[in-house]
Structure 1
Amino acid sequence: MADKKWFTLSHEEVERELETSKQTGLNSEAVDKRKEEYGLNKLPEDEQTPEWVKFLKQFNDILIYILLAAAVVTFFLGQYIDTAVILLVAVVNGVIGYVQESKAEKALEGIKNMLSLEAMVLRGEQKAEVDSIEIVPGDIVILNSGDKVPADLRLFEEHKLKVEESPLTGESTSVEKQTDKLDEDTPLGDRTNMVFSGTTVSSGKARGIVVETGESTEIGQINRSMNEVEEIKTPLLKQTDKFGKTISVVILVLAVLLFIAGLLIHDYEWGELLLSVISLTVASIPEGLPAILTIILALGVQSMADKHAIMRTLPSVETLGAVTVICSDKTGTLTKNEMTVQSVVTREKAYTVTGLGYEPEGKILDEKEKAVDVAEENDLKELLTAAKTVNEADIYKKGDQWEVSGDPTEGCLITLAEKSNVDIETLAIQSKIPFDSEYKYMAGLVEESNLKKIYIKGAPDRLFDMAGLGSEERAYWEEKMSERSKKGERVLAVGLKEVSEATDRIGHDDVQSGITLLGLTGIIDPPREEVIEAIKVCKEAGIQVKMITGDHKETALAIARELGITDQDKVTEGRELDELSEEEIRSLVEEVDVFARTSPQNKLQLVGALQNNGHVSAMTGDGVNDAPALKRADIGVAMGIKGTEVAKEASEMVLADDDFSTIVNAVREGRRVYDNLKKTILFILPTNGAEALLVMAALMLGIEMPLTPVQILYVNMITAVTIALALAFEPLEKGTMSKPPRDPDERLLSPYYVFRIIFVSVLIGGAIMWINQGLLAGYDSQHLNTITLHSLVFAQLFHLFNVRNERHFSLNDQFFDNKAAFLVSGLLIVFQLLVTYVPFLSNALGLYPIELNYWVYPVLVGLGVFVIVEIEKFITHKVLKKIKVRE
């Protein structure tokens, strides 16, 4: 039944359609039958992945497969120490991945927690409180203030009903409900004859017919949308997958060719040859790379957490650096979700009001922007007294936050009165007319200085009629109302009527005429002050910002202009999107920056269209209605303070301070992390390249292996988890936030990176081979292996300082900025001394405790690499600069 538009039917038609009775409800037999037909009123359980499966998934990488295959072969060849070390490396990588990248999906659980536990229903003419899961279509549900709505209901009776729907629709104020049927194209936020599962009754009472339960409700459809949303792989994961497959193919082809060449050319014994080929395989695999990438991402997560951006998955950190468009919800994200009076208009004057939110800090200013003495402004003082007196809300401080108890619109009027420079009295109400959506006003009878009067506030059009304005006066007030509305403000009118001293009760008839209009108040959910600068920074960084909200288009456009999101008049509503094809939406989303009155499905369509256009999208939001789009986006960003648990669990990032500008800091950090990841790859791979060249040269020349598999693994891991780690702390390079986002499809290794990796690999491998076969010819294998191992390590130690600055001279004014580089360099030297001179460590690795003079060779190799690479960088920079000038 989920496709049926119940809001287009009268409640009598709904009653007939569902074969129920508004007076008696369903009998027990009908309830049982419908339970069988429709099932229980709950969302389907999501199958949980066992923890051991999550752990095993960490090994689902082609490079790890090759490593494990090498472990199996060494085991059958009796090389048990090699087997143990290889397996240990694989397990360490798996544990790090499991701990840091656990992706338990809790979003559906968060939705379930929103559902009502119990509900009051009418069954067999008797009221009964039942578990919400027992409710079926056709049940008559009775709602009172504070109740959580248990299912989707079509209302047939209501009394001053207001429902808080912001988690579902994005509306910033409670929605007034009614019972008449609506047009077929009415968007979700305007379906005022319906109430939806998971929303809350803020005031009033009502009765309604259950029309949808469980997965068929609006929340259920969001739940289903989230299940159907395809998980988007981050740019880094796509790149590393491709990178891993390429390296794997190269390694396997090379290993097979060398095995064949070894048998044909040098007539090696096949077991010895196989062990040598395994050495080549282990040397070529950057097994330390997954661990160090994970650690760098984890450090990025910690850095972002310190800046109030909580990342829920590691790869999302670098994805932020590639974001090209941020799709932002309005309420609570770009705005404070705190109604604020920004303007007051009386018969003769206009005032502006400073201060935002419910905090009673601010001033009332005149047209010259001078603070007003309210005691001298009779109309203004009377208006403030009326607004504060005829009011059922209150404001209070909770921790550092000011909050409202009651209707947000009424709460902001209390705040307005508190901003007066004189105390505004709350007069005792002797009789009142409560707010009624049919009349659209509320009034109270008060007595002041032996004078009785009625204060009234409500919709301007209603009060204009009650005041009996002349055409000229009405034109004045309507012009003022129009000015405020065009600025996205919600306008309320305030008036009074003097009555006789004998009056002690009032009714609607008492206020239908004779009202004196005191003035208008312009109310808005104000934009966050810091967001304007954040959006400016986004645009400088080549990142588009689009507003996608459930609010009205006038309000959305006014806020978007104030924030600098758009300077156009273009706004597209959800109902317009519903009529467009996929191709038309893809074209429209590039032209329009503001989308209003959108449904959850519209948000999903827009994010999908942007992704189909090649964008890397971030979607911000705080409500349940945002959850599917948050999950679909490349980066879902939820509000930490005012966001629902559903939104948080569907996101990759949670803003702990609900500050849009935190996203900009996160993007900055994402770009830094990605740059440092690339530098890490540029640093690590020459080690593998040099090791592979040494093994290949030994095989082709028929000489003894310069390193054993265990020694190779040691070099790879020790350089990855010590000196490579220093690159994680490199600061953001200047000008990075002035560049456009990187292409998400760009190769992880640019042509220059490939050249540099090959160049440094040959440089290190060639230097070590020259020392081994020239200067140290005739030494035993333990001597050679030890010097080779230290030469590789020292070459990487010096190469670290080359990599810190990709194309510029390393010995610059920022040389000492990264203290971690010097700390880990010292640690590495300590490790090298330990594995050389502590007997049980040197024996395990097969090393010889070399004499002091032999340390000259590793130091010379390292120093030579540093100097030659710096020369190469200088030449490359000059050449590329010339090419750029010619272009």
Structure 2
Amino acid sequence: MQQVTEPGLTSAQVAERVAAGQVNAVRRRSSRTVAAIVRANVLTLFNGVIAVLWVLIMIFGEWQDGLFGLVIVANAAIGIVQELRAKRTLDRLAIVNEAPVRVRRDGTDTEVAPRQVVLGDLVLLASGDQLLVDGEVLDADGLEIDESLLTGEADPVHKLPGDEVLSGSFVVAGRGRYVATRVGGDAYAARLAEEASAFSLAHSELREGVTRFIKYVTWLVVPIGALLTWSQVSRQTEIGEAVTGTVAGIVTMIPEGLVLMTSIAFAVGVIRLGRRRCLVQELPAIEILARVDVLCLDKTGTLTSGGMELGEVRPLGGDLPVDEALGALANLDPDPNPTARAVQVRYPDSPGWTATAKVAFSSARKWSGAEFDGHGGWVLGAPDVLLPPGTPAYTEAGALAATGLRVLVLGRVASLRDPDDLGDIEAAAIVVLKQRLRPEAADTLAYFAGQHVAVKVISGDNPESVSAIATTLGIPGGDRAVDARTLPEDDPEKLAEIMDANTVFGRVSPHQKRLFVGALQSRGHTVAMTGDGVNDVLALKDADLGVAMGSGSGATRAVAQIVLMDDSFAGLPSVVGEGRRVLANIERVAGLFLTKTFYAIVLSLLTGVIGLAFPFAPRHSTLINALTIGIPAFFLALAPSNERARGGFVPRVLRLAVPSGIVCAAAVYLSYWIAQSGGLSLAESRTSAVVTLFVAAWWVLALVARPYVWWRVALVASMAGLFALALAVPFAREFFALTLADPAAGLTAAGLGAAAGVVLTGVFAVVRARGGRPSAG
């Protein structure tokens, strides 16, 4: 590539374009706007319903019965604050994660933030760079661009001066420069993926499950609410009492805190991971990794550190200029890859070697080369790609690779005119590179083995070399390496079978990495893929969860849902832990919220059919919900948990909540009916119902909180203590309209609640035996 003399834009021209709005201002996808966060937490269906019910109580009832209205304020405030905290964490890390763009301005090459690129900028490209704006190629040196993320075509496209390049593509080989012709929202990728780039959400069974619960409850609230309203009004009581009874039933049916707890759990997870320098680009991504049962690792940059050292160069005989050729090849590219940098340390220059033709390295070819004026053609790459099997050089290289070293061969060729047919290659030397294992790799792999997550090591390197490293790290099955060139790509079922049965795969092409992910997914696996190189992009995009290293290529970081900013593989257990905490705890508290919903539904149906006054007032519901659901759920949703997530969230929670709700409702209505039949007043009868309901609901809390640790025991016990205070303190008793004039009625109510608790214990045991998880920790 001839040296470009164009100075690029001047500072004055850049300022003019910025003032004119011709700048690459695109919305960051890591978080939604403040306005969107406020709308999502305030303008909800249930908030609207609760607001209407609160107004009715303020008009027709007593203000103490309107305490449930505070739920709107609390839910919205807590949800907004937590998500804003998560937004700040995401946005701060997203700025750090942005790969700078190299541009030429005022005759000098400089780096700017992606949003500072302006129309007409001269953008510089090297292997691994992602194109962030559209443009026209000015000059190219072996420039190959992968446009598969845009077009679906897997083969790289050679670009020449005058060709158009599009944002969203990335460089796989060579280098070049292009002039930005479309920026910001006008760029191709921005137009193509406007919705996804604004605030995209990975697939979340948890969110979908909560949404389904809300939909089901919405369908039930309208007809049951109408029946309850009719029954209370037809009793010919005063309008205030009828409205109070109706509101109490409807409010209790609404699982108003469930969405809040889900949002808090996700937001707190993002904040915790942000403190560990893990950027979660899509909030539910932590949930997906909690479900992962197969983790695909790219060896280079994940198990080994990105840098390498040149170990030794073994000449293979003949009077060939090995040192000069290595120096010339290593210093061709002004932006060398790690292999070239390692060679440059020993061979910084080769005077007199002028390249007349060049083939840049790519993961698909696995070699690079050049023709030098007066010195012929030379290639440097994988021995098992460049050398015929059975030759002495091939055998020697294989033996070295089997020890865990990275081995290349230097060869001389007649011509590079046809990169697909190099002809006879004269082996000149074997080049041995030392790879450094990441110090945290062994412990992290041991963690995943303990969590029953299968690890697949997928690498473009020699299978024996990859196997040696896998064995050193103690990966099960690491001693058996599969050469990916022998795999049946045209038989997906057979490929999936081989992927399931083996652990280490070498000589894997970028195209095959993508096939491997799909094959594992076809077997029902939830697949996470880690990587840092441009050859990992397609697999990262197709995996259920893509995890990129912070020092990886811009294209890799752009498509990954999680970026490990400190390049530490040890960060993955933290992500897994957060995901498992979120799923296990939300499932736990969902059982509490939906038990309340179902006992309210059953009570409303019984009240509507039998025609009695509703068993308790809204203030009673506020007290019981706070002590058996609201306060405990807040702590339980944020508690540590390390159980691997399972599918079937919705049916598993319903198997617990439906029978539990029915048991609680039956006990409450029996207690209420006995009190009414015994001639007790409405206030005394409702107090009996409240006592029974608290004991039964508290028992559900005690079962859900298992397995017990000291703080869970203290939490459950303190809720019982607070209810006892509400009964014992005159002010609280008067405030919540509780009357204990008949001790026998109180004992009967408590006994019925305890009897319901015994039945609930049996329900939990049956649910657990059938595969539910009401009390797993």
Normalising by the smaller structure, the TM-score range is 0.5 to 0.7
**One-letter identity of the residue aligned with 2:53:** A
Structure-2 change in CA distance of 1:572 and 1:211 (3 Å): farther
Contact 2:246–2:614 under 8 Å retained in 1: no
Aligned letter for 1:639?
Answer: M
| Aligned partners of 1:485 and 1:554 also within 8 Å | no
Q: Check conservation: 2:483, 2:506, Cα contact below 8 A.
A: no
* Correspondent of 2:35 among 42, 48, 52: 52
SS in 1 for 2:408: strand
1:284 to 239, 242, 253: 253
Q: In the alignment, residue 433 of structure 2 is paired with which amino acid? A: I
Cα separation, 2, equivalents of 1:572 and 1:155: 41
Name the amino acid aligned to 2:54: A
TM-superposed CA distance for 1:686, in Å, is: 2.8
Equivalent position of 1:6 in the other structure: none
Amino acid at match of 1:832: F
Q: 1:637 aligns with which of 547, 550, 565?
A: 547
Give secondary structure in 1 for the equivalent of 2:35: helix
Instruction: Indicate conservation of the 8 Å contact 2:464/2:481, yes or no.
Output: no
1:733-774 Cα deviation digits (max 9, x unpaired): 8xx55xxx633x653446632553245324542453366346
Contact 2:94 2:279 (C-alpha < 8 Å) held by counterparts: no
Q: 1:567 to 1:239 in 2, by over 3 A?
A: farther
What is the aligned partner in structure 2 of residue 89 from structure 1?
Answer: 71
Are 1:460 and 1:493, in contact at CA under 8 Å, matched by a contact in 2? no
Pick aligned residue for 2:484 from 565, 570, 574: 570
* Structure 2 equivalent of residue 685 of structure 1: 594
- Distance in 2 between residues matched to 1:534 and 1:724, nearest whole Å: 32
CA distance in 2, matches of 1:793, 1:312: 42
Q: Write the mapping of 1:73-88 to structure 2, written as runs, cut at 5 A.
A: 73-77=56-60, 80-83=63-66, 85-88=67-70
Looking at structure 1, the residues matched to 770 and 338 of structure 2 have their Cα atoms a distance apart, in angstroms, of 64
Q: Quick check: 1:480 aligned with 2:449? A: no
Out of 650, 666, 677, the residue aligned to residue 747 of structure 1 is 650
Structure 1 732/521 Cα, relative in aligned 2: closer, same or farther at 3 Å?
same
Report SS of the residue matched to 1:747.
helix
**2:351 matched residue in structure 1:** 433
Which structure has the bigger radius of gyration? 1
The offset of 1:544, in angstroms, is 6.2
**Cα-to-partner distance string for 1:354-407 (whole Å, 9 max, x where unaligned):** xxxxxxxxxxxxxxxxxxxxxxxxxxxxx99x999x999xxxxxxxxxxxx997
Contact 2:409–2:431 (CA<8 Å) still a contact in 1?
yes
2:583 pairs with one of 665, 669, 674: 674
- Alignment-derived partner of residue 625 in structure 2: 716
Cα 1:708/1:322, change in 2 over 3 Å: same
Offset of residue 248 of structure 1: 1.6
Q: Supply the distance in 1 between the matched residues of 2:518 and 2:45 (Cα, whole angstroms).
A: 30
> What is the aligned counterpart of 1:825 among 700, 716, 733?
716
Cα deviation digits, residues 637-662 of structure 1 (max 9, x gap):
3435x357887687554436534454
Structure 1 residues 67 and 228, CA gap change in structure 2 (3 angstroms):
closer
Q: Is the 8 A contact 1:835 1:841 kept in 2?
A: yes
**Residue matched to 2:369:** none
- 1:210 matched to 2:203: no
How far apart are 1:247 and its partner, in Å?
1.6
1:696-728 CA-partner distances (Å, limit 9, x unpaired): 544544444332113212321332233334544
Equivalent residue, structure 2, for 1:252: 222
Q: 1:753 to 1:433 in 2, by over 3 A?
A: same
Aligned partner of 2:105 among 119, 125, 128: 119
**1: CA distance between counterparts of 2:545 and 2:111?**
42
Contact 2:269/2:578 (<8 A) preserved: yes
Q: Is the 8 A contact 1:296 1:725 kept in 2?
A: no
One-letter identity of the residue aligned with 1:241: T
- State whether residues 683 and 800 of structure 1, in contact with CA within 8 Å, keep that contact through their aligned partners in structure 2: yes
Judge conservation of contact 2:482–2:506 (CA < 8 Å) in 1.
no
* Matching residue of 2:702: 801
Indicate the SS of the match to 1:433. Answer: coil
Q: Aligned-pair distance for 1:92?
A: 1.4
Q: Distance in 1 between matches of 2:728 and 2:167?
A: 68
Q: Residues 130 and 675 of structure 1: is their aligned pair in 2 closer, same or farther, counting only changes over 3 Å? A: closer
Q: Deviations over 1:135-184 (max 9, x none)?
A: 649x79899xxxx99997857598xx9x9x99999xxxxxxxxxxxxxx9
**Separation in 2 of the partners of 1:615 and 1:50?**
34
Percent identity, aligned pairs only, is 21
CA gap 1:318/1:595 in 2 versus in 1, 3 angstroms: farther
| 1:522 shift after superposition | 1.6
2-structure distance, mates of 1:855, 1:92? 33
SS in structure 1 at match of 2:305: coil
Structure-to-structure mapping, 1:339-354, within 5 angstroms = 339-341=308-310
Bigger shift: 755-764 or 540-549?
540-549
Counterpart check, 1:707 vs 2:616: yes
Cα deviation 1:236-263 (Å, max 9, x = unaligned) = 1111111110122122221223334556
Question: Mean Cα displacement is larger for which, 750-759 or 788-797?
Answer: 750-759
Contact map agreement 2:228 2:607 (CA 8 A) in 1: no
For the residues of structure 2 that align with 1:273 and 1:477, how far apart are their CA atoms?
93
- Residues 800-821 of structure 1, C-alpha deviations (whole Å, 9 max, x = no match): 332345xxxxxxxxx6x42221
CA distance in 2, matches of 1:853, 1:560: 75
Contact 2:279 2:563 in 1 (8 A): yes
**Change beyond 3 A, Cα 1:701–1:527:** same
Superposition deviation, residue 235 in structure 1: 0.9
Q: Residue in 2 aligned with 1:99?
A: 81
Q: Is the 8 A contact 2:134 2:182 kept in 1?
A: yes
Note the residue ranges of structure 2 that are not aligned, 5 or more in a row. Answer: 169-173, 359-374, 381-389, 412-426, 471-476, 500-504, 773-777
CA spacing shift, 1:24–1:315, aligned 2, 3 Å:
closer
| Mapped contact 1:842–1:849 kept (Cα < 8 A) | no
> Structure 1's 668 and 227: CA in aligned 2 closer, same or farther, altered over 3 A?
same
SS in structure 2 of the partner of residue 658 of structure 1? coil
Q: Is the 8 A contact 2:447 2:573 kept in 1?
A: yes
Matches of 2:615 and 2:132, distance apart in 1:
74
- CA deviations over 1:614-666 (Å, ceiling 9, x no partner): 765545445799789868865443435x3578876875544365344543554
Q: Distance in 2 between matches of 1:621 and 1:238?
A: 29
Contact 2:294 2:527 in 1 (8 A): yes
Partners in 2 of 1:666 and 1:149 — Cα distance?
29
Secondary structure of the residue that 1:89 maps to in structure 2? helix
- Given that 2:253 and 2:597 are in contact with CA atoms closer than 8 Å, whether structure 1 keeps it comes out as yes
Deviations 1:493-527 (A, max 9, x none): 79xxxxxxxxxxxxxxxxxxxxxx99744226556
Distance 2:111 2:599 in 1: 75
CA 293–156 in structure 1, closer or farther in 2 if over 3 Å, else same? closer
Quick check: 1:231–1:632 contact (8 Å CA) kept in 2? no
1:344 & 1:678 partners in 2: Cα distance? Answer: 59
Contact conserved, 2:510 with 2:535, CA < 8 A, in 1?
A: no
Letter matched to residue 323 of structure 1: V
Aligned position for 1:867: 758
State the Cα distance separating 1:491 from its structure 2 match: 2.6
Partner Cα distance (1:587, 1:99) in 2? 51
Query: What is the CA distance between 1:60 and its match in structure 2?
Result: 5.1
Aligned residue pair count:
693
Alignment of 1:239 onto 2:235: no
Residue 337 of structure 1 aligns to a residue in which SS? strand
What TM-score, normalized to structure 2? 0.66
Counterpart amino acid of 1:66?
V
Tell which deviates more after alignment, 669-678 or 646-655.
646-655
- Other structure's SS at 1:333 match: coil
1:769-808 correspondence runs (5 A): 769=672, 772-773=675-676, 777-804=678-705
Output the aligned Cα RMSD. 6.5
**Does structure 1 conserve the Cα–Cα contact (< 8 Å) formed by 2:287 and 2:583?**
yes
